[in-house]
């Protein structure tokens, strides 16, 4: 359940003003996906925030991109979904501003999607959050921290890293943490999930996403080839999404059509 009765941390956002800032970024904050059940609260400026136990976030390469992996995690949180939200940013925004938005939600857990294009600014965001609120549990995931993580600064600053496909493992780790238990190891390998057990995430795209952003559609995972330069060559065997479920999810006739749909 949302911890709306939790006491906010009034000094968390203000304390960020003492941290170093980068140059002004282009554009404004990207939209966030927030369940209606979560209470909203005002924060500095005109930016609305939401109290949430779990915040899923990443820095997309551009605003037009959408965080497909995080939508999978949110879709498969089960009962925890009502106390979670998705906050998307892009790499043109200042890490200090991103940290401020995330702290305003007063989360217990923040899950970061880490990729080659965002690892440097995400490292700054994690450092800022940990400096102000070391009690927040930071969980990392994504290809950039799933294979070579031992020497990465962001891994040293985080609490846990889930390697591999974390669709189900992230929910399991969150349940552990929110019940007062701690995982035995910092680096947590995720087993390959069975697609028949996964909730598909397409209803987590809203009309604004469909109209103005790139929508990703996943028909399979893995690759039959073994190209040495590509991480997909490590994902063996190839696994297909059950076709009837996929077609059912994509068959909503009332959504606006978009020409740029990327199929994975």
CATH number for the domain harbouring residue 18? 3.40.50.280
d(CA 87, CA 30): 8
In a domain, 14, yes or no: yes
In a domain, 234, yes or no: no
In a domain, 253, yes or no: no
What is the phi/psi pair of residue 251, to 5°? -90, 10
Starting from the edge strand earliest in sequence, which strands make up the sheet with 109-113, in order? Answer: 32-33, 84-90, 54-60, 109-113, 137-141, 160-163, 187-189
Structural domain span for residue 156: 10-194
Classify residue 187 by its DSSP letter.
E
pLDDT one-digit tens code per residue, 38-94: 444 333 333 345 678 999 999 999 989 999 999 999 999 999 999 999 999 999 999
pTM of the model: 0.78
Low-confidence stretches of the chain (pLDDT < 50) are 1-11, 17-31, 34, 36-48, 253, 255-264
In a domain, 123, yes or no: yes
Count: domains in the chain: 1
* Residues 12-19: contacts with CB under 8 Å, at least 24 apart: 12/103, 12/106, 12/132, 12/133, 13/43, 13/44, 13/100, 13/103, 13/104, 15/132, 16/96, 16/99, 16/100, 16/103, 16/128, 16/132, 19/96, 19/128, 19/131, 19/132
d(CA 131, CA 18): 11
């Amino acid at each position: 359940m949302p911890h709306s009765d939790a006491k906010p941390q009034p000094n968390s956002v203000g304390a960020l003003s003492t941290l170093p800032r980068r140059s002004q970024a282009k554009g404004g904050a990207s939209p966030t996906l927030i369940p209606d059940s979560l209470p909203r609260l005002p924060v500095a400026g005109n930016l609305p925030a939401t109290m949430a136990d779990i915040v899923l976030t990443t820095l997309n390469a551009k605003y037009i991109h959408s965080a497909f992996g995080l939508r999978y995690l949110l879709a498969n949180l089960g009962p925890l979904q009502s106390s979670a939200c998705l906050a998307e940013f892009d790499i043109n925004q200042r890490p200090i501003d991103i940290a401020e938005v995330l702290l305003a939600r007063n989360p217990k857990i923040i899950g970061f999607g880490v990729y080659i294009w965002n690892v440097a600014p995400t490292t700054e965001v994690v450092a800022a959050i940990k400096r102000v609120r070391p009690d927040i549990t930071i969980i990392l995931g994504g290809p950039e921290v799933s294979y070579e993580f031992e020497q990465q600064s962001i891994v040293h600053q985080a609490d846990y890293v889930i390697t591999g496909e974390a669709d189900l493992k992230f929910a399991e780790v969150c349940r552990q943490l929110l019940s007062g238990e701690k995982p035995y190891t910092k680096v947590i390998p995720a087993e390959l999930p069975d697609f028949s057990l996964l909730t598909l995430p397409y209803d987590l795209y809203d009309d604004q996403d469909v109209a103005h952003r790139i929508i990703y559609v996943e028909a399979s995972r893995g690759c039959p080839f073994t190209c040495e330069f590509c991480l997909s060559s490590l994902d063996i065997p190839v696994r297909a999404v059950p076709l009837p479920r996929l077609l059912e999810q994509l068959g909503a006739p009332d959504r606006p059509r978009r020409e740029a749909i990327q199929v994975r």
